[in-house]
Structure 1
Amino acid sequence: MFTLSLLVILLIGITGVNSHGVDVTADKMVICNDSNGQLVKDIADANEINISVYKFTSDDEVAHQLEHMLNNSNKNIIAVSYQKTAHDFLDKHQDVSDRLLIIDDVNNQSIQEGLIKVNNTKNTKNVSDFATPLTIGILVGAILGVGCGIFLMKRKQ
């Protein structure tokens, strides 16, 4: 009975795990395809703008990348390709409208303006730190350790 109670208490305390994956892309990036990726890179280099240009091959890859914006408030993205996917994402997530720039009329001037705009954005400080997860881990470990210790001591008697 004690084991079942302990199990229920532990299961109630477990939060959902998001298995979306780790974002390894740059915080300031451009979404391109094969036809305009080199053009964007050339414009960025000509204006000495340090920004990462990523070439995508499908709408699903772009949607996955855009989802990383939800968890990273420092991520700024320019969509030079896959505009429909970006518009669909923006319709569902209006809170990222200040960090997602969609260029519908793709030309040198609009690309340059978008690159300058994103390059001039300031990163916000990420509020998460290492101390909070460490403290929670220590507390959970201590509670589990005490619970298991009590269980083993009662079992030996």
Structure 2
Amino acid sequence: MIGSPEGRPVLRDQHGQPWPWPPLAPAGAGPEQGAVPDDGPAPSRVWLFFLPGAFTPVCMGELGWVDELAERLAPAGVGLRILSCDSAAVLRTVSEQLGIQTPLLSDFWPHGAAARAVGEFNETTGRALRSSVLVDAAGTVLARVRSGAGAARRLEDHFG
């Protein structure tokens, strides 16, 4: 897999800040820091919420409830990170237009490395599958939620 020298995906958020793999907290954040300063402790597990394309109709609908999902997951020590093969600039526009507080991470280059790392990249379309993958701090996959083409995930699918 192409990525960092350690063979891990390289991610940047919508503001250009680097995130390690798995993306529990921004690069350089200590264990006491979560997604942003003053956000509490970093989660021990994180849902990787893959979008095939940030500005597609189904993805835009799902983005309408991601902040609520993040709020409901946080008390259990679970984070939420939105990942897309779109560039960080596109993700910043999406986050600003929709007012999204949940981190949006670009899997743009190396193209789809994070989605490939957890088996959620569609080689035919060059996009991530519409899926969510729960991973722990070691990157071990703990659960998956997938939707078919054109079908949205449900907020409730991420609990249980």
Does the TM-score normalized on the shorter chain lie above 0.5? no
Which structure's CA Rg is the greater one?
1
Normalised by the length of structure 2, the TM-score is: 0.30
Higher normalized strand content (fraction of residues): 2
Normalised by the length of structure 1, the TM-score is: 0.30
Larger relative contact order (CA 8 Å, sep ≥ 6)? 2
Higher normalized helix content (fraction of residues): 1
